[in-house]
Amino acid sequence: MSGQKVSYEDTGAVIMAAGGGARRNAPGALDVVGGLSHVKRVVLNFQRAGIKDLILVCGEEEDTLKKQLRGFGVTFLRIDPEKGTEMFEAVRLGLSYCRERCSQIFVCPVDVPFFSAGTVERLWKSSAEVAIPSYQNRGGHPVKIRRQAVESILSYRGNDGLRGAIREAHAEVEYIEVEDVGSVSPAGERKSDQRLEAQYRSELSRARVKVQLVNTKPYFGPGMVTLLKQIRSLGSVREASEKTGISYSKAWTMIRTAEEETGAELVGRQQGGKYGGMAEVTKAGMELIRKYEELERCVQKYSDEKFREIFQSGTLMVNTDGGNEL
């Protein structure tokens, strides 16, 4: 992957941890290889590539997944079992949720956890309506879908999943040839999983930086960014807190703390109602998000450069399952 990340400000990723269909015997989101669960590995792969707007479609494991991914800035959607158990229903839910704010959306099942960040960048650069990674003429994941193809894909009512939806939508499809066997390798076979995990372990080694804004106390970080973005989309603090996996009372505590420390109203609210009243992110709130994300990109870029300079230029290479936190 190139040393300079592209900008993914309006790009999201839908990760399917529910809806098995033909893959119902596939490994679960919480299965572990090399010290990392499949779901955490997929999340880290996207985050390493620079994608922050991550949507996880869950089933009955929602509560456990929320605990495992607390602090990762993930939005959680629970699929309605009455709408079916096919994986495409999970795809449909995720695409419907983020189509308004994302011009490009990656889609990936949780049982394909070994794709590389470089593959994500290659797909992102494609101008096609649908971009699919290809390794030795085999299509894989993640699949990138542009906004203009989403409506046609959502209207699909056939039985051939995402592949059938793309075909019936007559979308422009580009297969991107990548040197990434992980993109075409579903997890599940022990020896193969161990080989892939060892192959991609070095890519996970990094300096992971968590940027927090502090005045008299810490008041703004990744969790607050995710919360405000969900409030902007949903118009409700209660619904936003549910989607981000935090309690309603904690959400308001975070908002009030940030407002006290900045001296600005970040969330406009109208009290009352069954769902806790309406809420909207103010101009000051949106400006704070913009400045925070600009700072975060600058800090991460500097951190990546210094990590390569310090750790990858000599014989010592710190190699851990979850990355190096400096």
Full-prediction pTM beyond 0.85? Answer: no
Rounded alpha-carbon distances, angstroms, from residue 136 to 126, 139, 184: 19, 9, 9
Q: For position 33, what pLDDT does the model report?
A: 85
The continuous run of DSSP H or E covering 38 comes out as helix 38-49
User: Where in the chain do CATH 3.90.550.10 domains reside?
Assistant: 11-204
Q: For position 39, what pLDDT does the model report?
A: 94
Pick the CATH number of 205-326 from 3.30.2320.50, 3.40.366.10, 3.40.50.300, 1.10.10.10: 1.10.10.10
User: Where in the chain do CATH 1.10.10.10 domains reside?
Assistant: 205-326
Task: Please check whether residue 145 is in contact with residue 162, taking contact to mean a CB–CB distance below 8 angstroms.
Answer: no
CATH class held by domain 11-204: alpha beta
Residue 40 DSSP one-character state: H
Is the pLDDT at 321 greater than 60? The verdict is no
Question: Which of 105-119, 133-147, 183-197 has the least mean pLDDT?
Answer: 183-197
Cα separation, 241 vs 137, whole angstroms = 43
The continuous run of DSSP H or E covering 220 comes out as strand 218-220
Is the pLDDT at 46 greater than 80? The verdict is yes
The continuous run of DSSP H or E covering 175 comes out as strand 173-177
Among 26, 10, 25, 9, smallest CA distance to 187 is for 26
Q: For position 21, what pLDDT does the model report?
A: 44
Range 229-251 average pLDDT: 93
Cα separation, 125 vs 24, whole angstroms = 32
Q: How do the residues of the chain divide into helix, strand and coil, expressed in percent and rounded to 5?
A: 45, 20, 35
Is the pLDDT at 262 greater than 90? The verdict is yes
Cα separation, 58 vs 217, whole angstroms = 34
Q: For residue range 7-26, list pLDDT tens digits in order.
A: 577 899 999 998 554 455 45
Structure tokens at 55: 């949507």
Q: For position 261, what pLDDT does the model report?
A: 98
